[in-house]
Amino acid sequence: MCKQCELKPVIILSNSKKGLCRSCFFRYFERKFNKTISQFKLIEPDEKIGVAVSGGKDSLSLLYLLNKIREKRRFRIEALLIDEGIKGYRDKTIMDAKRFCRELGTKLTIVSYKGEFGYTLDQMLKKLKIKPCSICGVFRRYLLNKYSRKLKFDKLATGHNLDDEVQTILMNQFRSNQEISARLGPITGIKDSEKFVRRIKPFYLITEKETTTYAYLKNFNIPFCECPNNTQAYRIEVRNFINNFEQRYPGTKHSIINSFLEILPSLKEKYRNYEEIKYCRKCKEPSSKEICQTCELRNKIR
């Protein structure tokens, strides 16, 4: 029974084993979301927050909640969607995103690979012998930053949840990528950079089971839709490993996040100098090399 009101629970929280009924779960979820924003100072009054939406349950739940609190916290929101051009997948999720934004009255900007680079991802994959996720990782990040700046967003909110972050932390550990871990956390990017829009993750402390439960109970009607190009074999293996571990030792994911948050300031301090932004010689966008990965990839596609 729900610990608070003795009704039938809709979820058992994995870290505390506490069962919550529908209305207590909504209260728990929204409180956690609000607390994350306050605790990590993710949003300041009068800011314009871009919301990166894919049309999936996490990003649309995020849009719904940011829209719900924007008046009280005095900020504005707009949605941004990157259309890679993946037939049978993105075209479907775009419909859900459009419907959702229409219902909320939120402005949605759609930027496509085709319009920006001349080809859809499907077309690029026919030209290049390269893993699709490597293309998307580079192009999507590039477009999100470029258009966040064009649309004058102060920050860009993404639907990354606790599970996403735990997977990335462990993947970086297993591959000894501490420098990349230093760039993680609930708020990322460099302060006061003209060219780089900071990213925020208001679902940082919320599990994907919780976001799915929330979207289901709110009747968002977002069907499960998997990218046909999902080649992130390593991430999937790490995810299975963590989920098996969590099933046997509940609370593992929360422990990983909590210990990571403790060492994150030290990591950021250690790699502070690496964070200095350089700019691509060709496109003038932020880059770690002289020519950015986006320009390198574009060259190969031509």
Partner 1 sequence: MVKVFVEKENKRINLRAKDIDEIMKKLNINKEEVIIVKNNELTPRNERLKNSDELKFLSVISGG
7 lies in the binding site for partner 1 (CB under 8 A): no
Interface segment toward partner 1; rule CB under 8 A; list 43-51, 94-102, 141-149, 210-218: 210-218
Task: Kindly give the interhelix angle for 22-39 and 208-217, rounded to the nearest 10 degrees.
Answer: 130
By CB under 8 A, tell whether 211 contacts partner 1: yes
Does position 293 interact with partner 1 (CB under 8 A)? The reply is no
Nearer to partner 1, 106 or 211 (CB): 211
Which part of the chain contacts partner 1 (CB under 8 A), choosing from 29-37, 118-126, 235-243, 254-262?
235-243
Amino acid at 286: P
Amino acid at 64: Y
Does 9 contact partner 1 by CB under 8 A?
yes
CB 43 within 8 A of CB 49: yes
Site string for partner 1, 167-206 (x = CB under 8 A): ----------------------------------------
Who contacts 300 (Cβ-Cβ below 8 Å, separation ≥6)?
128, 130
Specify whether the backbone of 251 is left (phi greater than 0), alpha (psi in -120 to 50) or beta: left
Q: Which two tokens stand for residue 44?
A: 């300041």
> For partner 1, which is the closer residue by CB, 56 or 185?
56
Nearer to partner 1, 63 or 295 (CB): 63
Q: Could you tell me how many residues of this chain bind partner 1 (CB under 8 A)?
A: 36
Stretch that binds partner 1, among 156-164, 173-181, 187-195, 272-280 (CB under 8 A): 156-164
Q: Which stretch binds partner 1 (CB under 8 A): 34-42, 51-59, 73-81, 95-103?
A: 51-59
Q: Quick check: 71 and 105 in contact, CB under 8 A?
A: no
Residue 52 bridge partners (DSSP): 80
CA distance to 1, 39, 213, per residue, from 7 (Å):
5, 31, 17
Measure the N-to-C terminal CA separation of the chain; round to a whole number of Å.
61
Tokens of 53: 């939406």
Angle at 159 between CA 166 and CA 236, to 5 degrees: 40
Residues that bind partner 1 (CB under 8 A): 8-12, 14, 19, 56-58, 89, 93, 133, 159, 161, 164, 208-209, 211-213, 216-217, 224-227, 229-230, 232, 239-240, 243-244, 246-247
